[in-house]
Structure 1
Amino acid sequence: MAAELWEDRQVRFDIPISAMQLRPGEKIIDRLEAIEDTKGNNGDRGRLVVSNLRIIWHCIAMPRVNLSIGYSTIINITTKTAQSKSRGGGASAMFVLTRFNNTRFEFIFTNLIPGSPRLFTSIIAVHRAYETSKLYRDLKLRGALIQNKNLNILPLEQVYDKVAGVWNLSSDQGNLGTFFITNVRVVWHANLNEGFNVSIPYLQMKSVKVRDSKFGQALVIETSASSGAYVLGFRLDPSEKLQETAKQIVSLNKIYGNCPIFGIEFELEELVEDPDQLTIAPTQDDIEIETVEGQGDVMAAYFADGSKRTDGEPVYSPELGLAIEKLKEGFTIKGLWEVIEQ
């Protein structure tokens, strides 16, 4: 099984150079020079790399100062004016609000080249493509997966096999259904109810084995912790069919692990002619810096709610009729709902 995917699901600060390199299946879509991390490293010239899984920013002078922002953590992206030391005053900047480990982080990126909109268009478009392709990466229960007994095929998906007579062992009596085995996932649906189904991407499979159960031998698919750590059992008769199906899923899972398909497809209208420009330049990793103790200091600059890490004291709000976190001095419920145009 491939290493568990973290690049699109985490926010990391000052990661090792090795973690900045692309994992299998990760592709660079755009690379922008002269980008400033205005909130955390104001005044430092940096490079921003847009991949199909995350945003990577690093300081040109010191690549160890860097950020990795997974698309799954992004709450919203807006454009406002920020004060940049490099630009010498106010400049149009991209504000990225994220949430990771129950903490909100805000990042501000400013393009040091005036009049260039690519910073905003690339990231917003790729993030939208990520949000609309979750079935490639996430386990889905009872979704709109089947129509008229046929699988709703994803754009990059190929169906390799359709296996009838598959019992789902999630209930005492079992449910008879059908497998669709593709190049990116395994989908099962009940024959009598198409809405009773499950889509299991290879990306989320922790193990695939044949085990004994109270129903006899069964195909057992265990999913990753990030997808809920499900243990899904299926029975197929005869035994030869069970073994053959299990072998096929294991084989396709291995092939997928060598070259994952994440489903995020996006091409720039103006492609960079030199492919070397769409790579992360190798950097000599000759200095070991211990960042564990100081990690809080690094993160503090990006806290979206000041420097607090825990929720504040709960108080009753007569306006909302429920308990809320105590507001900071000078803030009102009405004010928090207002949108101020910049």
Structure 2
Amino acid sequence: MGSKINDKRESLWQDRDVRFDVPLNELKLRNGERIVEYFSKIEDTKGNAGEEGKVTITNLRLIWQSKIKPRINLSVGLGCVSSLTNRTIHTKLRGKHEALYIMTKVNGTRYEFIFTQLDLELGTQFGIVQLISKVCRAYTSTKLFRDLKLRSAVITPNSKQLKVLSSETIYNKIDGVWNLSSDQGNLGTMHLTSVRVVWHANMNELFNISLPYIQISNIKVRESKFGVALVIESTDSSGGYVLGFRIDPSDRMNAVYSELINLFTIHSTKPDLGVDSYLEMGSSLAFNDHESNAALITTSDSDLKEIDDQHVAHQSDAIAAYLADEAQSKNNEIVYCPQLGLAIEKIKEGFTLESLWQVIPQG
């Protein structure tokens, strides 16, 4: 039986990358991406001071887009966020304002973003800082929905049952599944759920793999040195693993294969990325509808057919503008702080000692 899946889906990058001035089609919501909230008057203070824009917060990323020039935009993945801070800043243009500081790290490079909410009167029941903090916590708490995990605590030690995720449904538990990753093979148990396939060894539950459907690139049945095997390939972004399983007899394996294909297809149409259900549990947050909010992100414009040299130059300058000033911070002057009774790095102008304690905003 040959391959049934030709993976033409876009790999999941929205939550794990920071991109500047992207083509407008990259701002479109991917399958499973949903809008949490929208703020209409937000300034990108560090990169585009004085220019009003709009912020769209989804379950995967934060999107800032200039209202006047939609090609000037940011896509900041939630998986890249290392810290959030609410600070009071002083600028010549705006005076004294509350601002959101976001520190991110991508492939060893740190970027700093500063967003200022220009019209607090029009804010939602949650301010932008509190809301993004809630979404980031939900994102971090639901990584098993989106990330391949090896040797993690997916099985309860006492009852030997799969730890079910929020909104996850177990559809089948298959005993007697051989993992063909070693020469002798390992006998274990496979679970097929609404969001992932999980296998663990019977003799050692910590020898396991949890593979979300969104990280699967191919599923097929083919010959191996162990005979006919069920083969599952993960995406390049998740490590490009090739996993082989043997289930006897062959008709039982074909039944598992068909069920897995069906679950994969259903999930691909409308992926459950976990953040939605986590946020909605015990919260008054309500997710917005996909179609009705698609217009919140400008993805077409009559004059956006070509990117001119001026825009390319702006993109290069923009990346430099957001780089975190690590070198300067390492050489800060050491001063005595009477409030703490300690020697500390001199606090930058415009900040206070109190604001530096607000690394994790209180939601």
Quick check: TM above 0.5? yes
- Please, which of 241, 248, 258 is the counterpart of residue 247 of structure 1? 258
Question: Cα distance 1:223–1:341, how it changes in 2: closer, same or farther (>3 A)?
Answer: same
Is structure 2 residue 147 aligned with structure 1 residue 132?
no
* 2:307 alignment partner, one of 271, 286, 289: 289
Q: Percent identity?
A: 45
Question: SS of the counterpart of 2:275?
Answer: coil
Supply the distance in 2 between the matched residues of 1:292 and 1:218 (Cα, whole angstroms).
50
Count of residues in Structure 1 that have an aligned counterpart in Structure 2: 323
Partner Cα separation in structure 2 for residue 302 and residue 103 of structure 1 = 11
Instruction: Compute the displacement of 1:341 (Å).
Output: 3.3
Deviation, 1:269, is: 3.3
Gap runs ≥5 in structure 1: 309-325
Match of 2:323? 303
What corresponds to 1:102 in structure 2?
Answer: 108
1:131-210 superposed matches below 5 A: 131-147=140-156, 148-210=159-221
- CA change 1:65–1:84 in 2 (3 A) is farther
User: Residue 338 of structure 2 aligns with which residue?
Assistant: none
Which of 119, 128, 134 in structure 2 is aligned with 1:113? 119
1:27 to 30, 34, 53: 34
Q: Deviations over 1:95-130 (max 9, x none)?
A: 000011321000001111247561111111011100
Q: Partners in 2 of 1:285 and 1:243 — Cα distance?
A: 51
Secondary structure, aligned partner of 2:138: helix
Alignment of 1:316-331 (within 5 A): 329-330=331-332
- Greater percentage in helix: 2
- Contact kept, 8 Å, 1:43 with 1:84, in 2: the verdict is no
What secondary structure sits across from 2:188 in the alignment? strand
Matches of 2:286 and 2:201, distance apart in 1: 45
Aligned-partner Cα distance in 2 for 1:292–1:21:
21
8 Å CA contact retained: 2:38, 2:54: yes
Q: Which runs of 5+ in 2 are unaligned?
A: 1-6, 335-342, 356-363
The amino acid across from 2:172 in the alignment is: D
Letter in 2 for 1:262: L
- Within a 5 Å distance, the mapping from 1:256-267 to structure 2 comes to 256-265=267-276, 266-267=279-280
Distance 1:13 1:131 in 2: 23
Rounded to whole Å, the distance in 1 between the matches of 2:314 and 2:225 is: 52
Aligned to 1:226: 237
In structure 2, how many angstroms separate the alpha carbons of the residues matched to 1:337 and 1:172?
59
Aligned-partner SS, 1:42:
coil
Other-structure match for 1:311 = none
Alpha-carbon RMSD across the aligned residues, in angstroms, is: 2.7
* Equivalent residues in 2 for 1:55-134, closer than 5 Å: 55-84=62-91, 88-114=94-120, 118-134=127-143
In structure 2, give the amino acid aligned to 1:122: L
1:280 to 2:296 alignment = yes
